[in-house]
Structure 1
């Protein structure tokens, strides 16, 4: 109604001011008349709609900045890059643990308080169960055909059922166990080969990211490499290009693109995001689509009948009429989403944890001692050992807390007006839980910038989880729209971490700065410089030899 009054005033004023014969006095009279009409119309609407003082609406959360008309704080957003660091700097002046900033007509709600976070994603989970419509998610999901990134609705319900019932269930996780073990063994082979051929220098980021790319490739396509790979077990050009594209897409998902808040500007690509996303997706599709198309054809013509991987599972799913449940586009989009959801979190946590441990070697020694005590030195750590590796998991939790992969969680969108923590949250608001704001909050963490795994140990003998139910930090998101791959993500994180700690000693290269520089990159939360360390085998030689016999 307010917009209607404004539009009426603007259009009428435009008509009148085009008449050249109009006098200035008449012009002022017209302005005054329409101003009075607009205000009268506004207050009449407020009265009829219940705004008569009998019910008082809660206030919005504190504003980080006073917004401009129409565009909100988009001008400031464009000037202050990277946007997430600018927002976090503004949040330092807020004592409420919740604040609001407006981009276009969208209220963006930023939260750094665990208790308030729980009110959003636990107490009122259903109200915040949707996702934003954005350029990046639209193109990544082929028009919202997937699960994690799509708005709440029938398509999300369909794909969630597929994901939880067929692809990421506990039964399916057990079925895929051997594929995960193959990639854990290959990780050890790769690093062991670097110990002998590269003087022990290991780029931990490359090793971690490629392991985290190999696991979903093996699960989805039953292959480690798109090309020939390398004899030492490392990635070839194709795998490096593929993983680079994955991380590019991740960098531009929900990256505060102008057209996400002013949709009519989409296509102009004012900030260049669309071009970058299109290029990265083209690389992924170059490797994925030929495999998917060929496999679909093999199932159609009867050449393939055995289910060997998750792609086969998706293709072979049938409804009550024996028709495919998933279309080719749904399969392609969901595979892309699984790929981008799997690679970043474990690899980033392990790289940061090892960097912190190199500066505090007593922590690394304690973790390795736990593995020796639980597993011994005559065999490699396996998933069945994870229950008893609480200190290793505490180190991983501490990495998730102090060094999250992203500044915010995937945005939640309110599907209705509501009140949270005594603040009014309008329908359509984008809710951002600050991963750094939660994990580094001095009100909830003692010495928050110090890497201290012991803070996560309860001493009750209960197996430690990587998730944090009270949202004091975010490893894997929670609630209706929480991460559906927690079991897989936990397995990958702990296996990557435990194998690197069990199989090798790690030291800072003699020519490198000591201690390790723990500065963050400017544009993301990665370690500014990829971690390079010296690895040396720490197990009996026959343990490694067994890996080369397979």
Structure 2
């Protein structure tokens, strides 16, 4: 019986042994596979990973070793103005593209035209956004506008409005009478100074008031917010308005600490936010009542859609969406018109002041430009926009002023929408790309005698383009690409007009006691002339050519 029982139990014991062996073998197999996978991962990490890492592009040269969390913000704050510090770092490092980390943001300054073209031509769509920073946010009432807003549906909506409605060529032609009126008023203003003040003219005031009057006419059909002055010059209201606009421009994208560490927003560590909001309050003080009243006039039926719009404010109010409803809110209109003013007033006025200063120091250039106007236009009528295609030397002088003396050290920042590679360097998503206006225009690899004012360098056999742009980014007058300036035609027309009228209508000289030449030093904290240009004007046309009374 014992043997029989043992015999009957044997298969069961063998089954248990087999089961135990199978379980052990399975565990061994799993362990072996796991070890093999671990060795494979280790191999990939050590060998393949290192190989991949060695071929991955690096960031552009770091100009300053960043601190944890804050990056190079302490150095930024200690070295104001920041734009001069950045340019000095790049010169010392002998690099045309660099990287500085402010907070978590990689700021990429560029001084080379070829590399600039890779950003704004080859990979334009990748760099088609704007940073969401404090100064741009408050200026645009929460990014409701075109030029300063990040990529998105709101930008696309407002861009369509700007291109198809406000700045379309047909609209430009319809509003020519308003631009002509302000060109006449400029001549009247300076002529009256010749009669009453010995011809001593603050060219900066004259140029800025013209460049403030033109958009006021285009937007609101008015030259003055107040009574103005009898001589055609700006009154207190216009001076305050233009001053506020230039203050906004000075602090827009001015390297504010909270732009790079958003948690600090509201603390206003730089004081920028307070200054911006006060300047915007002044602009709103003059703009908003006009806009509110006009909107109400349209609601009350005091204005009719059957009539041609009087100005660009009427255009914006009349716009309808696909369902026939009002397209733009009051805030969108206010924000867009403020941005329009900001984008219009600075570039032409700065270029003309610098060009006049340079030409007073080189009288032969002044004479050559004046002789061209006399040859094309004569002395029995004033320069008109129709004359611009033939005024090639005058346009060359304006282009040279844009090249050598840009209004701002950098263009409006472009933000990378994704990781990419440019010029062999890794550009992370969210990087702020800054093309240097000063370094591009004064690049000795591109321009012979880059610091000399030499208009002849822009003359070509087929003439000089009416739009004062530079397609190859050898300098920046008006920005290019998807986020390029949509008002190039308006800006170019204003620049050539103010310049041509000053040259045609008056002879210019340096005031006695000011020395033989104009001091061309730049201001420390901006690219303006350190001292506003003051020159002596004398009428050079028959007396009946000067407007005396204007509406």
Residue 498 of structure 1, aligned match among 500, 503, 517: 500
Correspondence 1:319-334 to 2 at 5 A: 319-334=321-336
Cα separation, 2, equivalents of 1:516 and 1:417: 48
Answer yes or no: is the 8 Å Cα contact 1:388–1:463 preserved in 2: no
Number of the residue aligned with 1:182: 181
Answer yes or no: is the 8 Å Cα contact 1:121–1:128 preserved in 2: yes
Cα separation, 2, equivalents of 1:315 and 1:47: 62
> Tell me, what secondary structure is at the counterpart of 1:405?
coil
Unaligned regions of 5+ residues in structure 2, if any?
1-37
Answer yes or no: is the 8 Å Cα contact 2:395–2:464 preserved in 1: no
Q: Deviations over 1:173-222 (max 9, x none)?
A: 00110000000000000000000001100000000000000000000000
Q: Deviations over 1:440-461 (max 9, x none)?
A: 1111111111100011112334
Cα distance, 1:65 vs structure 2: 1.0
Correspondence 1:157-196 to 2 at 5 A: 157-196=156-195
Unaligned regions of 5+ residues in structure 1, if any?
1-39
Cα separation, 1, equivalents of 2:85 and 2:251: 17
Number of the residue aligned with 2:120: 121
Number of the residue aligned with 2:20: none
> Tell me, what secondary structure is at the counterpart of 2:92?
coil
> Tell me, what secondary structure is at the counterpart of 2:368?
helix
Cα separation, 1, equivalents of 2:494 and 2:464: 21
Number of the residue aligned with 1:358: 360
Cα separation, 2, equivalents of 1:47 and 1:302: 74
399-408 vs 505-514, which moves further = 505-514
Answer yes or no: is the 8 Å Cα contact 1:504–1:536 preserved in 2: yes
> Tell me, what secondary structure is at the counterpart of 1:202?
strand
Cα separation, 1, equivalents of 2:399 and 2:517: 22
Cα separation, 2, equivalents of 1:300 and 1:503: 45
Cα separation, 2, equivalents of 1:547 and 1:122: 49
Answer yes or no: is the 8 Å Cα contact 1:394–1:464 preserved in 2: no
Answer yes or no: is the 8 Å Cα contact 2:100–2:106 preserved in 1: yes
> Tell me, what secondary structure is at the counterpart of 1:72?
coil
1:146 aligns with 2:148: no
Cα separation, 1, equivalents of 2:297 and 2:462: 53
Correspondence 1:8-87 to 2 at 5 A: 51=49, 53-54=51-52, 56-87=55-86
Cα distance, 1:431 vs structure 2: 0.2
Cα distance, 1:57 vs structure 2: 1.5
Number of the residue aligned with 1:281: 280
457-466 vs 419-428, which moves further = 457-466
Q: Deviations over 1:474-511 (max 9, x none)?
A: 00000000000000000000000000000000000012
Cα separation, 1, equivalents of 2:432 and 2:155: 18
Cα distance, 1:47 vs structure 2: 5.0
Cα separation, 2, equivalents of 1:504 and 1:548: 19
Cα separation, 1, equivalents of 2:351 and 2:372: 19
Cα separation, 2, equivalents of 1:347 and 1:410: 19
Cα separation, 1, equivalents of 2:521 and 2:127: 34
> Tell me, what secondary structure is at the counterpart of 1:107?
strand
Q: Deviations over 1:345-387 (max 9, x none)?
A: 0000000000000100110000000001111111000001000
Cα distance, 1:465 vs structure 2: 3.9
Cα separation, 2, equivalents of 1:58 and 1:321: 50
Cα distance, 1:466 vs structure 2: 1.0
157-166 vs 439-448, which moves further = 439-448
Cα distance, 1:152 vs structure 2: 0.4
314-323 vs 259-268, which moves further = 314-323
Q: 1:59 to 1:184 in 2, by over 3 A?
A: same
Number of the residue aligned with 2:403: 401
Cα separation, 2, equivalents of 1:163 and 1:464: 21
Answer yes or no: is the 8 Å Cα contact 2:458–2:464 preserved in 1: no
Cα separation, 1, equivalents of 2:251 and 2:466: 33
Number of the residue aligned with 1:19: none
1:478 aligns with 2:480: yes
Answer yes or no: is the 8 Å Cα contact 2:467–2:488 preserved in 1: no
Answer yes or no: is the 8 Å Cα contact 1:185–1:547 preserved in 2: no
Cα separation, 1, equivalents of 2:207 and 2:540: 19
> Tell me, what secondary structure is at the counterpart of 2:98?
strand
> Tell me, what secondary structure is at the counterpart of 2:433?
strand
Number of the residue aligned with 2:28: none
Cα separation, 1, equivalents of 2:396 and 2:463: 13
RMSD of equivalent CA atoms: 1.6
Cα distance, 1:52 vs structure 2: 5.5
Number of the residue aligned with 1:212: 211
Residue 310 of structure 2, aligned match among 308, 322, 334: 308
Residue 437 of structure 1, aligned match among 436, 439, 443: 439
Answer yes or no: is the 8 Å Cα contact 2:126–2:418 preserved in 1: yes
Correspondence 1:371-386 to 2 at 5 A: 371-386=373-388
Q: Deviations over 1:12-62 (max 9, x none)?
A: xxxxxxxxxxxxxxxxxxxxxxxxxxxx9xx99x959x9563463111111
1:225 aligns with 2:224: yes
Cα separation, 1, equivalents of 2:214 and 2:464: 28
Number of the residue aligned with 1:341: 343
Answer yes or no: is the 8 Å Cα contact 2:382–2:501 preserved in 1: yes
Number of the residue aligned with 2:461: 459
Answer yes or no: is the 8 Å Cα contact 1:393–1:465 preserved in 2: no
Number of the residue aligned with 2:297: 298
Cα separation, 2, equivalents of 1:316 and 1:436: 41
Answer yes or no: is the 8 Å Cα contact 1:520–1:527 preserved in 2: yes
Number of the residue aligned with 1:511: 513
| Matched residue count | 506
1:447 aligns with 2:445: no
Answer yes or no: is the 8 Å Cα contact 2:358–2:453 preserved in 1: yes
